[in-house]
Structure 1
Amino acid sequence: MTNYQPKDSSKSPRFCGIRTFMRLEQIKTTDHVDFVVVGVPFDTAASNRTGQRYAPQHIRNFSVLLRPYNPDMDINVFDYCSGVDYGDIDVIPGNIHRTYDNIVAELTPILDKGIVPIIIGGDHSISLGNLRAFHKKYGAVSLVHFDSHSDTWNDYYGERYMHGTPFRRAVEEGLIDPRHSIQIGLRGPLYSAQDYEDARELGFEVVPMKEVRKIGFDQVMKRIHERVENRPVFVSYDIDFVDPAYAPGTGTPEVGGPTSFEALEYVRGLDGLNIVGFDLVEVLPTYDANEITAVLASSVIYEMITLTALKKRRELQQKAEVLNQQQ
């Protein structure tokens, strides 16, 4: 059986070849793969800085430094799963609704095969299109949302489909189950005290960054796991969740966030959840001094891929235990 994995950089220099994520093969296939990396370079729903359309290629460019063995999770990713760089979904700049249609059309055959899409934005508005596709396969999913903003505003400038509104629209459309969803890391100045309450009134559990610091990592992860239980989970990771000292390349940075080490630990701590897909959004190359944000973003995606490998390893171990019991 075909097993797609990265090109070996000890045999082929990293600066050779077309830039793909982690030097995976760039092939649009749903055969013999467990995950695909997909770009959605849409940024015309951003309210401040734009340029997130260039994030997929920016992150891919730095990701060539990644290697298959993850020492922190003690697993060689490609011993247990196969994956490709699926390329980018064609977006329509300035037309968010046709872009959503394209996202759903492209993700549907991937999800129908039970493959885990790992999606690189783009601004955070793309998450609504992603969730529409996931809803077709899984029904209302649980959401684990890392961000400095709730993205549950009703509108921006009278527009209901912006990067600050996707999760309100997702609740309204029944795409996610807010009773089993959680938002982590919210912080920064707001328009009013009602902003966090709006998210809570929609049904989300909200853990602002100040509370994260107060209760600590272990308690945060416990609350995530207890909230989600064993339901299908979509993870949405806005890079501005991380402090701008570690991720300067983003459109609406907020100080007081996690370090880069903590940013990776929050992904690693999701191991054991029934994760069916991820997106990472809001990387803005124009403001990414010395590619600091690209380093972190590619590593976060790498940890997301690792979670897929860990899940596959558990499934294989469980099958082996069943066979042993039958013998």
Structure 2
Amino acid sequence: MALEDAQTQADLAFTRNDPRGLAFENAFGGATSFLRRRYTKDLAGVDLAITGIPFDQAVTNRPGTRLGPRAIREASTLQPYDPPYGWGFDPLSEFAVVDYGDMPFDYARTPAFPQAVTDHITRILDSGAASITLGGDHYISFPILRAYAAKFGPLSLIQFDAHSDTWPDDDFGRIDHGTMFYKAIKEGLIDPARSVQVGIRTTNPDTMGVHTIDAREVHESTPAAIAQKIKGIVGNARAYLTFDIDALDPAFAPGTGTPVWGGLASWQAAAILRDLAGINLLGGDVVEVSPPFDAGGATAVAGAHVAMEILCLWAWTRRKPG
């Protein structure tokens, strides 16, 4: 959308007719849909839906990630003026991307929450669209993966995180953001042989067969080499990418519930994600952004950029020739 067109309309989140195109509205005003996409519950003709799941009742330390989707959306309004740097194409102009809004749920009925998430993502997938989810704590990835695996079969998981989240927990009724990938592997949602965790720097001896690239290996290598290693593990398998913002060092992302020193720098994460272009990515999420601990908003800015990179990775293999 041209600048002069934008100046004659207000709040493209409501007035945009074409879901494709960049946005030239003031970053400091208007409705803060993700990347200034149109807010809609109509998924007809939509390629990818951004949705928020504002849930943080599974945390083991500091809460606040229920406010993450709102903060990531606000931070994202700085981005849609230009095509994303370094990609050589504009996914917002080539694909129909909308903001599907936040998932509604009854916060006082926690046991019903997992199925509500699975149903929410299933509705998106059944429409023919893919999803990128803004969290919320990391537990949400488990019921999301249930929806994806029901449609596509077991997936390769690419997980950026300080923690493995595979601590043993055979009580599937428990809602815990540190055990959900243990359960996902046990349920057969994830193929561990084709899955990889990046940035790990906490101890969990049982990897459950998932490949680990810890933070020290990232620091002692190069982003290009790390991306190539990830691609070698995942191959052509259908993949889902989950990015826990605590994969970044607290110096770059202080606004999170379980910060761990020694993590990835923003430039490392950006370069690795960009060099993953070509993987068969079906969807992804960004989780654990906790605005109450995010002085200056740096964590939300990082989360918004990660979500854009996931969008670019998804779009890369779906572009039409030429």
TM-aligned CA deviation for residue 219 of structure 1: 2.4
Per-residue CA deviation, residues 75-96 of structure 1 (Å, 9 max, x unaligned), is: 1222321100000112343644
TM-aligned CA deviation for residue 49 of structure 1: 0.1
Q: Which moved more, 1:105-114 or 1:165-174?
A: 105-114
* Matched ranges for 1:191-230 at <5 A: 195=204, 197-199=205-207, 202-230=208-236
Contact 2:170 2:183 (C-alpha < 8 Å) held by counterparts: no
* Distance 1:159-1:48 versus aligned 2 partners, 3 A rule: farther
- For 2:110 and 2:195, locate their aligned partners in 1 and report how far apart those are by CA, in whole Å: 25
- For 2:85 and 2:225, locate their aligned partners in 1 and report how far apart those are by CA, in whole Å: 24
* Matched ranges for 1:304-319 at <5 A: 304-313=310-319, 316-317=320-321
**What are structure 1's unaligned runs of at least 5 residues?**
321-327
| Structure 2 match to 1:279 | 285
Q: Secondary structure at the match of 1:17?
A: coil
Choose from 26, 29, 32 the match for 1:19. Answer: 32
| Structure 2 match to 1:167 | 181
Contact 1:81 1:312 (C-alpha < 8 Å) held by counterparts: no
- For 1:246 and 1:299, locate their aligned partners in 2 and report how far apart those are by CA, in whole Å: 13
TM-score, scaled to structure 2: 0.89
Cα RMSD for the two superposed structures:
2.0
Per-residue CA deviation, residues 215-235 of structure 1 (Å, 9 max, x unaligned), is: 332222122111111111000
Choose from 42, 46, 57 the match for 2:55. Answer: 42
Identity of aligned residues (%): 37
TM-aligned CA deviation for residue 106 of structure 1: 1.2
Contact 1:271 1:310 (C-alpha < 8 Å) held by counterparts: yes
- For 2:223 and 2:270, locate their aligned partners in 1 and report how far apart those are by CA, in whole Å: 12
* Distance 1:64-1:6 versus aligned 2 partners, 3 A rule: farther
Per-residue CA deviation, residues 264-320 of structure 1 (Å, 9 max, x unaligned), is: 22221221011001011000000101111111111111111122332222xx11xx7
| Structure 2 match to 1:178 | 192
1:89 corresponds to 2:95? no
- For 2:170 and 2:313, locate their aligned partners in 1 and report how far apart those are by CA, in whole Å: 35
TM-aligned CA deviation for residue 123 of structure 1: 0.4
| Structure 1 match to 2:152 | 138
1:5 corresponds to 2:20? yes
Q: Secondary structure at the match of 1:243?
A: coil
| Structure 2 match to 1:100 | 114
Matched letter for residue 254 of structure 1: V
Contact 1:78 1:309 (C-alpha < 8 Å) held by counterparts: no
1:77 corresponds to 2:83? no
Matched letter for residue 159 of structure 2: H
- For 2:230 and 2:157, locate their aligned partners in 1 and report how far apart those are by CA, in whole Å: 10
Report the number of matched residues: 305
**What are structure 2's unaligned runs of at least 5 residues?**
1-16
* Distance 1:165-1:76 versus aligned 2 partners, 3 A rule: same
Choose from 245, 248, 258 the match for 1:252. Answer: 258
Contact 1:6 1:25 (C-alpha < 8 Å) held by counterparts: no
Contact 2:38 2:98 (C-alpha < 8 Å) held by counterparts: yes
| Structure 2 match to 1:324 | none
Per-residue CA deviation, residues 154-186 of structure 1 (Å, 9 max, x unaligned), is: 249998430000100001111111111011110
Choose from 131, 145, 160 the match for 1:117. Answer: 131
